[in-house]
Amino acid sequence: MAPVKVHGHPLSGATATVIACLHEKQVEYEFVSVDLSSGAHKQPSFLALNPFGQVPAVQDGDLVLFESRAIIKYLAKKYEGQGPDLLGSTLAEQALVEQWSQVEGQSFNSPCSAILFQIIFVPRRGGQTDEAVVASSVEKLNKVLDVYEEKLSKSKYLAGDFFSLADLQHPVYIHYLVNACGKGELISCRKHVSAWWEDISSRPGWKKVTEMMKP
């Protein structure tokens, strides 16, 4: 059985999320680096994998998949029998995993990515950080994290007392927020979010991802 092929970039958050899932589920994979700086993701050979020209894209036998949240769900389902269960053990638990997974995708990701983009990527391309965008994104993210703080005061992880895909979708973005954007206080000022971040970032699966991310 050929290993799963991940076409991605070491600095891409969505790629890191897929890699984290592969490590958690103990699935062998082959990493194919896509050179974003040279526009490889807009070339026909990559567009044949993901017509939206975004990393990552994954090949598993005949199946080609893109969208990191769909990819990790597929992997968690296909490899249900190995590694920790990331989906939830009842239909109701699975629904709560879906709910918080959507919260990440619909409420957390946008303001967080805007902060990362302005502080990390814009200067790298020779531009100037738009502080107004950073400020309004921080305000939005604060509101989201207030809800997380309340939720995590009642359960150890987002969907309940078990680590799931919903939690796994977060570390890469928090990692950059804390370590590359100087916004650690957004996490550290919140007792339960802090404890949750400590926990999910000490998982061996996550530590392996950070090794990949090092330049």
| Site for another protein, rule CB under 8 A | 51-52, 63, 65-67, 69-71, 73-74, 77-78, 91-92, 94-96, 98-99, 101-103, 105-107, 110, 144, 147, 150-151
Least distance from C-beta 78 to another protein, angstroms? Answer: 6
Smallest gap, in angstroms, from Cβ of residue 43 to another protein?
15
Q: How far is the CB of 186 from another protein (least distance, A)?
A: 17
Which of 115/144 has CB closer to another protein? 144
Nearer to another protein, 144 or 186 (CB): 144
Nearer to another protein, 5 or 73 (CB): 73
57/65 Cα distance (integer angstroms)? 6
CB within 8 A of 43, min separation 6: which ones? none
Cβ of residue 204: shortest distance to another protein, in angstroms?
26
Residue 16 vs 96, nearer CB to another protein: 96
**3-state secondary structure labels for all residues of 91-160:** HHHHHHHHHHHHHHHHHHHHHHHHHHHHHHHHHHCCCCCCHHHHHHHHHHHHHHHHHHHHHHCCCCCCCC
Identity of the residue, 94 or 210, whose beta carbon is nearer to another protein in the bound complex: 94
State the nearest-atom distance from the C-beta of 159 to another protein, in Å.
Answer: 10
Q: Which of 111, 157, 160, 109 is nearest to 136 (CA)?
A: 111
d(C-alpha 152, C-alpha 143), whole Å: 14
User: 18 and 6 in contact (C-beta within 8 Å)?
Assistant: yes
